[in-house]
A and B are shown apart, each in its own frame.
Chain A
Amino acid sequence: MAKAVPGRASDQAGPDNPGPGPDDAGRAAPGGRGGDLLAPLLPAGEPVEQLLRKAQYFVPGGAPSPDFREVHRIGGRGAEAFYRERWHHDKVVRSTHGVNCTGSCSWKVYVKDGIITWETQQTDYPSTGPDSPEYEPRGCPRGASFSWYTYSPSRVRYPYVRGELLQFWREAKARLGDPVRAWAEITGDPEKSARYKQARGKGGFVRSTWDEVTELIAAAHVHTVREYGPDRVAGFSPIPAMSQVSYAAGTRFLSLIGGTILSFYDWYADLPPASPQVFGDQTDVPESGDWWNSSYLILWGTNLPITRTPDAHFMTEARYRGQKVVVVSPDYSDHTKFADDWLAAAPGTDGALAMAMGHVILTEFFRDRRVPYFADYVRTYTDAPFLVTLREHGEAYVPDRFLTAADLGDTGEGARHKTAVLDAATGGPAIPNGSLGFRFGEAGLGRWNLRLGDIDPVLTLHGRPDGSAVPLDLPRFDTGATEGGTSVRRGVPVIRIGDRLVTTVFDLLMAQYAVPRDGLPGEWPAGYDDAATPGTPAWQEAITSVPAAAAARVAREFARNAELSRGRSMIAMGAGTNHWFHSDEIYRTFLTLIMLCGCQGVNGGGWAHYVGQEKVRPLAGWQQMAFALDWQRPPRHMTGTSFFYTHTGQWRYETFGPDELASPLGRGLFAGQTFADCLARASRLGWTPSHPAFGRNPLDLCDEAARAGVPVADYLVGELAGGRLRFAAEDPDDPANWPRVLTVWRANLLGSSGKGMEYFMRHLLGTHDAVRAQESPETLRPAEVIWRDEAPRGKLDLLTAIDFRMTSTCTFADVVLPAATWYEKHDLSSTDMHPFVHSFNPAIAPPWETRTDFDAFTAIARDFSRLAATHLGTRTDVVAVPLTHDTPDELAQPGGRVPDLLAGSPDAAPVPGVTMPRLVTIERDYPATAAKMAALGPLTETLGSSVKGVTWVPGHAVDYLRRANGTVRGGVADGRPALTRDVHLAEAILALSGTTNGEVALQAWQELEKRTGVELTDLAAERAGDRITFADTQVQPRAVITSPEWSGSETGGRRYSPFVVNVERMKPWHTLTGRMHFFLDHDWMAEYGEGLPAYRPPLDYRRHLGELGLAQDGRPEITVRYLTPHSKWSIHSEYQDNLHMLRLFRGGPVIWMSPADAAAIGAADNDWIEAWNRNGVVTCRAVVSHRMPRGTVYMYHAKDRHLMTPKSEISGWHGGSDNSLTRLVIKPTHLIGGYAQFSYAFNYYGPTGNQRDEIAVIRKRSQEVEF
């Protein structure tokens, strides 16, 4: 059967079918213009004569007789079957919705005659047991509309390349005969590269073929690796849990070639930095079924019915069980209507409310009355009893740092990381088990646990006969001329140990929370109604507008409930409180309530962080696959925010520096610095990753070292110390340091998460933009980072988007590859909302030219390997690895002191792995990339798997994979288990993880038992023989096995709650003290006054930016708090482009305003308005509603700008998306590393891409709009 599918036809131009080749077409067209030599933009196609004479899509039916003289057709009444079988389907296939939703709902996809007709919810989740509501059915209207993407007319069906680029490419490749040289020539030609870069976002796509496009992409990769270095190649894809194979396909390729893998959780600002700070864990939260176990639930900044739709029923059901629901939300939102008590705190002031609640709890449950459960809990599981030294500051003291065994004269293993308490029995200091000093050394074996033994830690020094009291200065941020605020004088009880004055963390907390006790110096509130001093309910009322009595009542109820139920009080928190610049301080005030009331690690209690959080439950196996740890270690992980802040040029537009935020109680560490300087310093110190890493190609650096006959690390240190080499972060605008190639898959980077979108346009992409800001004035330019007067435009040579929707990212990409949808591939899904692992399965094969992400990257890797054989060969690469969490690197910089300061001169003689990143060389056999991708490498059997500091070798699991997947024959992977298909990868993920392979879980628990000396293996014993295979997940969602990959327990059918293992088995948290931390003692934390939880208001942009209004012709305008919450009618940008969802509300972008604000600018409901600030412009309709409080507007997040977005009066361009008004600001404390829980891991710690502190100006615009 001859087909003439566009795009494939070129395959047919062979000897038998001499279709005109590219050049022929030009020649064969005498009528064509001379400039049209590049007719080759088109596929060759079948000869027209032939095309017109035969049926193209149809093959005559019926069975021919042997001599072909007759055709027999039997039947004829088949059409009737259509009516009889109307509700009959060929098959029902299990699949789910990937990437951007944490729901992870299993669905039934109905297929009839090869066409997907609809989907319904699966109802076969394993039961939660007799005492709880069930999970089934799960789903929401968004997921229910998904199948329509399959056949949507705007689906991406073919590979597209922008016409300009494709012309250059075909011409250069034909002339030079070599794809890599062709790419080098095009990107090396300033005129050509400017032309195709400026065309980004302006249409002009033509269809291409997979073969052509993958070769182009591969050539760009090969050229960039050779010319600039593998770390100049980057990839972005988020949220692996909800399609683990598709994520891993791309990152596995990038890991093998040494590309930079960008993080997403911190970049989305969904990562709560308070979690690493307090728990030493990224994010670990209860499954939604555990809400049922809670008897007091505060919904604080997370709109459960909207953003956790399939789970919200547990919240409503628990109300029938007597649960009280309190909602803290500035607007009358969808979850507010479930509230028994609604506290309408002003946006961004939640920290003040939580401080006042803490004040009430500490006063009533710790000072006036001692609750044994609470006291025992904080003594055992938190840092409250640990001793902190005080430092003199003026006439008073400030908290300094934890007292350690080293301070007491111990010089043994880990002494500087063993923290001390005061033992009530002996009256002297004691070192309890479980702190970091016990975690990695030989002597600590069996002692890394929370057992206090004979030690009876003293919680407070108040009233001790051997003690006294001193005045203590603490920061406050609600007053003062700068963001750094002022201070308040309080007092703490102290004792002297050696020459040090010490107090306990608990006593510091009492001072910070303004709880007066007899005999302490300082200013203290007269009572709850004293508004004059920070911490009281009356004080918060002035800030939040929540009545003082309501704040006190909720605090009292929360604690009393916890006391009676032993910890079953829960706070569900989310984007509303997390997307702020000071999110970490806001969250720490919440977590303080949780910890004081003994709620964490208890079913039905604790924190429940729900924004962008995810859980790759089979974590160990997934890490091996995704980062190719089976072949080489480590990958180049990079913090997304730092990368985009640097390379979209946002660092060039500052209006204040890091010093602005420093507390007056600090030491002036940031004087004269900028945020970019902080980033460069943190990179040099090995705190935070920095890729591209150095000012030269790492492959060349290794060659240079070889020529010099010096080990690579020594060579690099020499070059750095000699000033001949600098970190790329110190000169990000040097063309040698630009990222050159970026591949985005499973993501809408520009349309959804691109904070500072207009800066992306200007600097990263080099196309047109609506940035209205001026560059930083001379006084705010970096001290150490090089400022180039001419800012680069168009750093990226190639932006590739792989998607099934034509998103904003696709419209700005150079190459768009058509992806299979979630109903067209095999993959795995898990979430932290439920404890099951289930599968994606193809209901139909990928239609048109679409391919799965797995197949796309396999094709790219093949072409890459082929071109690498000539252009790259085997090279040595050096990776700068930041000091890493859950490894002995945590011990590198004890005491949280900044080494730079001690060294006298900046970075004098850096030591890799101590005062700078570790330098690890990796042999990269580039031509073998594809072969390695498609096989399980040997390191899994030698170095094994490491998760969160536990290492084991899953030998049997690898043997199983050998048999299940088959082995590779020949080549570099000869005899290794095959990973040639997506299901192989899924099988490997499941087999190598403890959560899905009981034997592995048991192995991992055994390892952890050795270190902790507590019993743990019984947690997995009941399922030690279980192995969940991919086939199992196709049959039914499968409940996971309790494994040290996570901190909770499903043993015996329990609902998952984080840190249950820590609490019940005395397993330490991964922090300095091994306990949950109220107090943080790093230099930079102290500088920012954030040693303790505190209320820090939103950034005061009104002051920093001055007047933003335009005041044209006296047109009324209003400056408002600009918030971008999640929408009811989309999951990020997914679904918002689908007619179902567009019609459930008004469709297209809108800004919600209060009637008062609308009246102020003369706008009525549904009028066209424009919002702007220095970052860009938004044009949309107004929704005027009493739901909104005055002074605050909402623009739902991630409405793609190509949908119903008219041209702006102000910029002349299409009014932007919600992120046109946002911009990144780096919080330096998010860069800290090398010290206990402040150590880097991917998506664990890093600066957040927060955006809620923004303000914008709004006015009504002309009601005549042009699209």
Chain B
Amino acid sequence: MTAGAFKLASVLLQYPTAAVLADARDAGGGVLAAEAARLPRSSAVPLGRFLGWLGSTPSADVARHYVDTFDLRRRCSLYLTYYRYGDTRKRGMAMLGYLTAYRAAGFEPGPGPGEAGGTAGGAAGTMVAGGELPDYLPLVLDFAALDPQGARLLRAHRADLELLLRALREARSPYADVVEAVGAHLPGLRRSDQALVRRFWESGPPAEEVGQEPFAPPEYLAGRRADIFPTEMSLEASR
């Protein structure tokens, strides 16, 4: 049941193909709709809503919406490590965490993109099969449909998923329904997750800290020592 929901979400969160769209439009009830209907209400309802939108929206609009939402908007990134690690050097290690999970479950990284057949040239294979990064949500969901470790991986990144959901809701994207359906098959947010969500929702992804230690005593930088510089400077510094 859970596996089915993850798999369905994995398919739906990828760039729409003509086949997916045709199925969604099948008036007699397509495979996708049937699959969704077999799920518990908590995920069947949002997925049904999404499939309804997919089936009734011109394909060009679906494609544009997808590109606008996932390709051109950072806050709706499908790469889960981005939310908590942003553009910092920790992100590479976080991605490796995913890779390690896959490997622990017995999956070896496959060929990277542009290396059909897996004959890695000068550069090594960079991605798991399919030419994607290891934290790409459809890929993680594909894994979760395959192996129970996947659900654990998603639980560990519950906050990231929630941030994506919030961003999609804020952008009024129908894709929010798909992410909501995934969430329905995971435990609710723990207190620590909620704190993370609050923090990153307000501040965005974190900034790099390496090499940015202050060169002066903290009280100087914070502008508390008002006696040592003129007013305008203290304003400037305490900004």
Contact = CB atoms under 8 A, between A and B. Distances in A.
Nearest to A823: B123
B35 A52 contact: yes
Interface stretch (A107-115, A370-378, A1074-1082): A107-115
Interface stretch (B39-47, B128-136, B184-192): B128-136
A interface, size bucket: 35 or more
Contacts of B67: 160, 205-207
A338 interface: no
Contact of B59 (A39, A62, A147, A842): A39
B interface, size bucket: 35 or more
Interface in A836-890: 841-851
B142 A58 contact: yes
Nearest to A983: B122
Contact of B146 (A39, A58, A147, A1165): A58
A806 B68 CA distance: 12
A59 interface: yes
Nearest to A203: B68
Contacts of B60: 36, 38, 41, 163, 167, 206
A44 B17 contact: yes
Given A58-B146, A61-B106, A207-B67, A42 B17 contact: yes
A113 B7 CA distance: 26
Contact of B17 (A38, A45, A157, A163): A45
Given A6-B17, A42-B17, A82-B100, A1140 B87 contact: yes
Interface string B1-35: 00000011011001111111111111100111001
A29 B72 CA distance: 28
A1143 interface: yes
B91 A151 contact: yes
A33 interface: yes
B207 interface: yes
Majority secondary structure, A binding face: loop
B103 interface: yes
A850 B123 CA distance: 15
A200 to B, nearest CB: 15
A957 B72 CA distance: 47
Given A30-B25, A58-B142, A845 B113 contact: yes
B86 interface: yes
Given A48-B31, A154-B72, A206-B64, A845 B126 contact: yes
A824 B125 CA distance: 12
Interface in B131-157: 131-134, 138-139, 142-143, 145-146
Interface stretch (B74-82, B172-180, B215-223): B74-82
Interface in B77-105: 77-79, 82, 86-89, 91-93, 95-97, 99-100, 102-104
Given A114-B109, A153-B74, A29 B21 contact: yes
Contacts of A49: 31
Interface in A104-129: 111-118
B23 A48 contact: yes
Contacts of A115: 92, 95-96, 99, 126, 133-134
Contacts of A59: 107, 110, 129
Given A25-B59, A30-B27, A148-B87, A5 B103 contact: no
B235 interface: yes
A82 B87 CA distance: 22
B63 to A, nearest CB: 4
A790 B221 CA distance: 59
B26 to A, nearest CB: 7
Contacts of B32: 48, 52
Contacts of B21: 25, 29, 32, 39, 42
Given A151-B91, A847-B126, A1139 B205 contact: yes
A145 B19 contact: no
A112 B92 contact: yes
B104 A79 contact: yes
A1138 interface: yes
Given A31-B55, A847-B126, A1186-B232, A42 B64 contact: no
Interface in A1157-1194: 1165-1166, 1185-1186
Contacts of B129: 1, 3, 57-59
Contacts of B138: 56-57
A1240 B123 CA distance: 43
A42 B63 contact: yes
Contact of B19 (A46, A160, A850): A46
A9 interface: yes
A1165 B103 contact: no
B89 A117 contact: yes
Given A1-B110, A4-B17, A62-B106, A57 B142 contact: yes
Contacts of A906: none
Given A45-B20, A58-B142, A52 B7 contact: yes
A723 interface: no
Contacts of A1143: 207-208
A36 B211 contact: no
B15 A43 contact: yes
Contacts of B19: 19-20, 25, 44-48, 51
24 contacts: A1-B110, A7-B15, A19-B19, A25-B59, A31-B25, A31-B55, A43-B18, A45-B16, A45-B19, A49-B31, A57-B128, A59-B129, A79-B103, A113-B96, A115-B133, A118-B89, A144-B211, A148-B91, A151-B95, A203-B64, A806-B72, A845-B114, A850-B113, A1138-B87
Interface of B: 7-8, 10-11, 14-27, 30-32, 35, 55-56, 58-60, 62-64, 67-68, 71-74, 77-79, 82, 86-89, 91-93, 95-97, 99-100, 102-104, 106-110, 112-115, 120-134, 138-139, 142-143, 145-146, 204-205, 207-208, 211, 232-233, 235-236, 239
Q: 9 tightest A-B contacts by CB?
A: A45-B17, A117-B92, A6-B15, A25-B18, A153-B77, A114-B126, A31-B25, A45-B19, A29-B25
